[in-house]
Amino acid sequence: MSAFKALLDKLNSKNATIGVVGLGYVGLPLALRYSNIGYQVLGIDIDPDKVAKIKSGVSYIEHIVSSRVTAAVSAGLDATSDFSRASECDALILCVPTPLNKYREPDISFVTNTTDSLVPYLRPGQVVSLESTTYPGTTDEELLPRVQQKGLVVGGDIFLVYSPEREDPGNPNFETSTIPKVVGGCTENCRQIGIALYEQAISKIVPVSSTKVAEMTKLLENIHRAVNIGLVNEMKIVADRMGVDIFEVVDAAATKPFGFTPYYPGPGLGGHCIPIDPFYLTWKAREYGLHTRFIELSGEVNRAMPEYVVGKLMDGLNALGKAIKGSRILVLGIAYKKNVDDMRESPSVEIMEMMVRKGAEIAYSDPHVPVFPRMREHKFNLKSESLSAENIQTFDAVVLTTDHDKFDYALIKSSAKLIIDSRGRYREPASNIIKA
């Protein structure tokens, strides 16, 4: 029996072992989904803390309850930091970070280093699927030669797929199983294997003609959001100068039943995709002699938002006869969006750093982030403040950067001397509220 037919039968009969490499916000839900529907699952991660917690049946992601991990472990889910165990897996799904470097250029070292760590343990009859967001051509240009370097033929002995992750942490309307899955393969056999890999776990599969199409699809999704958020952020600045509430404008425009999608302004872009992914395409486009002006312009607007918020804070303090230097500032919400504990690329952190550089004494309150976490580029030795009237009154200003539903907004409004609202949570004008 050919490697293609054997693997296809294993995937369709759920006799395959699924390896998920990278057990973060994308990898862990995917591992739990495959375990839940009856596959044997092995999670692989370089972080021994994550491995230990999974083995103990403990979740380290807020919106995933530990009982789901415990149930999966009872059903056979295992986790390891030992990459040699990749040989046990029939499928290896890569869910690793793809950040930007300090020059705002793509850093795919996590993808290439992970692949290099797996190569010694690849064998015929496996499928490797990359889910990390990246520039068009990554799968063919970077993974294909690595996977084939031991003499394995992609499309015959081993199969290579690109299927971009689609996650919206904290959104109860969507989960891994219900979000349609785009699948592209390096060959037609690869694509068929990719469809078989995902169709048992995901309700709708969207096959495309190549890995490049799949890679570009993911970028278009996130660039669409980044550009529209950049547009409404720029509109916010114009509306503010004109004395118009941009949130009221967006709400009114959203009543149009066709031709308009509401996007709301904020303190900047956050999350693992939208602040980063557009620059993967702008970087790759230079190889073709193209300058993606529209994308780069929206990036400039969005990156300027934290400074805009801090400027509004300084104006508000100045009106009270205070300088930002020496003022006590409370930041409300440091996750990148409301009702989650995800800190990746959070604009709140950049705002905190700007305020510190200007001499402010800062604290934060976030019911989803009790202790400021370890981050690659940011460090604060802070714990979340409790929100009582007495505590709020000790601060010169409160900066609302992430509008969690758990906040008592009436208490904050009645207690704070000054509120800088970057999320439009307070719609009614008040003497102590400045829209930012």
Region of poorest pLDDT, from 232-236, 349-353, 374-378, 397-401: 374-378
Distance CA 432, CA 86 (A): 58
Per-residue pLDDT reduced to its tens digit, 310-321 = 999 999 999 999
Distance CA 309, CA 259 (A): 30
Q: What's the CATH class of domain 3-218?
A: alpha beta
Catalytic status, residue 273:
yes
User: Residues for the chain: how many in total?
Assistant: 436
Task: Classify burial at 287, counting beta carbons within 10 Å of its beta carbon; exposed 0-12, middle 13-18, buried 19 or more.
Answer: exposed
* CA–CA–CA angle 157, 87, 31 (5° rounding): 105
CATH code of the domain made up of 304-435: 3.40.50.720
- Active-site option among 89, 95, 190, 273: 273
Q: Do residues 22 and 63 lie in contact, with contact meaning Cβ atoms separated by under 8 Å? A: no
Where residue 274 falls among pLDDT bands split at 50, 70, 90?
Answer: low
Where residue 100 falls among pLDDT bands split at 50, 70, 90?
Answer: confident
Where residue 278 falls among pLDDT bands split at 50, 70, 90?
Answer: confident
Classify 131 as helix, strand or coil: coil
Per-residue pLDDT reduced to its tens digit, 123-163 = 999 999 999 999 999 999 999 999 999 899 999 999 999 99
Side by side, the strands of the sheet bearing 205-207 are 78-80, 40-44, 17-21, 91-94, 127-130, 159-162, 181-185, 205-207
Q: If you compute the radius of gyration of the chain from its CA atoms, what whole number of angstroms results? A: 24
Average pLDDT over residues 85-91: 98
Q: Tokens for 348?
A: 């709140």
Per-residue pLDDT reduced to its tens digit, 44-82 = 999 999 999 999 999 999 989 999 999 999 999 999 999
Q: What is the pLDDT of residue 167?
A: 82
Average pLDDT over residues 397-403: 98
DSSP, res 80 = E
* DSSP β-bridge partners for residue 80: 44
Extents of the domains making up the chain: 3-218, 304-435
Q: Tell me: pLDDT of 345 over 90.
A: no
Q: What is the pLDDT of residue 272?
A: 66
Q: Tokens for 322?
A: 């205070």
Q: Residues 45, 51, 54, 60: is their CA dihedral positive or negative?
A: negative
Per-residue pLDDT reduced to its tens digit, 166-225 = 987 777 788 888 999 999 999 999 999 999 999 999 999 999 999 999 999 999 999 999
Q: Tell me: pLDDT of 42 over 90.
A: yes
Distance CA 410, CA 343 (A): 26
- What percentage of the chain carries pLDDT values higher than 90? 86
Answer whether 3-218 and 304-435 agree in fold.
Answer: yes
Q: Which amino acid does the sequence have at 351?
A: I
Q: Do residues 269 and 229 lie in contact, with contact meaning Cβ atoms separated by under 8 Å? A: yes
Neighbours of 377 (CB within 10 A): 9
Per-residue pLDDT reduced to its tens digit, 359-392 = 999 999 999 999 998 876 778 999 999 999 999 9
Q: What is the mean pLDDT of the chain?
A: 94
Helix residue ranges, H only, 242-333: 246-253, 277-286, 293-303, 305-319
Distance CA 358, CA 310 (A): 10
Q: Tokens for 312?
A: 């509004």
- More confident: 377 or 303: 303
Where residue 322 falls among pLDDT bands split at 50, 70, 90?
Answer: very high
Distance CA 169, CA 174 (A): 9
- What percentage of the chain carries pLDDT values higher than 70? 99
* DSSP β-bridge partners for residue 127: 91, 159
Average pLDDT over residues 224-250: 96
Q: What is the pLDDT of residue 363?
A: 98
